[in-house]
Chains A and B, each alone.
Chain A
């Protein structure tokens, strides 16, 4: 079964609204990372966050290991936030990295 489940699959917001993206994982965690990708673009790391809460500007990531979930909160969304957000899990075995299918975010002006 899929190791990493992301939700929602897609999200449409009006500029200024907040977004909460979820990542749930079914395997033990070595590390968790959130990426951003523009259409046709490369993956840009937003957060490396194996546990706890981290902030970066309008973005906040929270990982709760015992609940096997990580979230990405975007406050006061902007049109430039549109793109795909991916979470990636490095499990404890084999150093394999498992990706969720991503959340497609569209922020309308």
Chain B
């Protein structure tokens, strides 16, 4: 069964601190995505990846870095967290043929 697992599910961070959100997929998909979801903005793409070693900027990459060390893992890194990055973050994976995309359950991040 297709699976995308995010960790942690909830995180409270202090302003200026470093935060790493992790995502693991067992679908053997080449493509992985990080979105944030805020009221009034829907889902916005932060970074995405075509495969191990690749990261691409999405629509709102500022303040975020991404890392794809392997096919299975895709991390989102906030080097200096700010309160404006308080949001729900979703990771997803999909293959190159444009078939179904699978989402993780989300990570609720609060920066205080």
CA distance A34 to B30 in the complex (A): 21
Produce 1/0 per residue, B10-51, CB < 8 A to A: 000000000000000000000101010000011101001010
Is B99 an interface residue, CB under 8 A from the partner? yes
CA distance A101 to B43 in the complex (A): 7
**Contact for A42 among B41, B42, B103, CB less than 8 A:** B103
Are B45 and A97 within 8 A (Cβ)? yes
**Contact for B98 among A31, A45, A100, A102, CB less than 8 A:** A31
Q: Is the interface of B mostly helix, strand, loop or mixed?
A: strand
Are A95 and B94 within 8 A (Cβ)? yes
Knowing A42-B105, A42-B106 are in contact, say whether A99-B100 is a contact too (CB < 8 A).
no
List residues of chain B with CB under 8 Å of any chain A CB: 31, 33, 35, 41-43, 45, 48, 50, 56, 58, 88, 90, 92, 94, 96, 98-106
Using A42-B105, A86-B43, A100-B42 as known contacts, list a sample of 15 further A-B pairs with CB atoms less than 8 Å apart, ordered by residue number in A: A33-B101, A41-B106, A45-B100, A45-B102, A45-B103, A86-B42, A90-B101, A95-B50, A96-B45, A96-B48, A96-B58, A97-B45, A97-B101, A99-B43, A102-B42
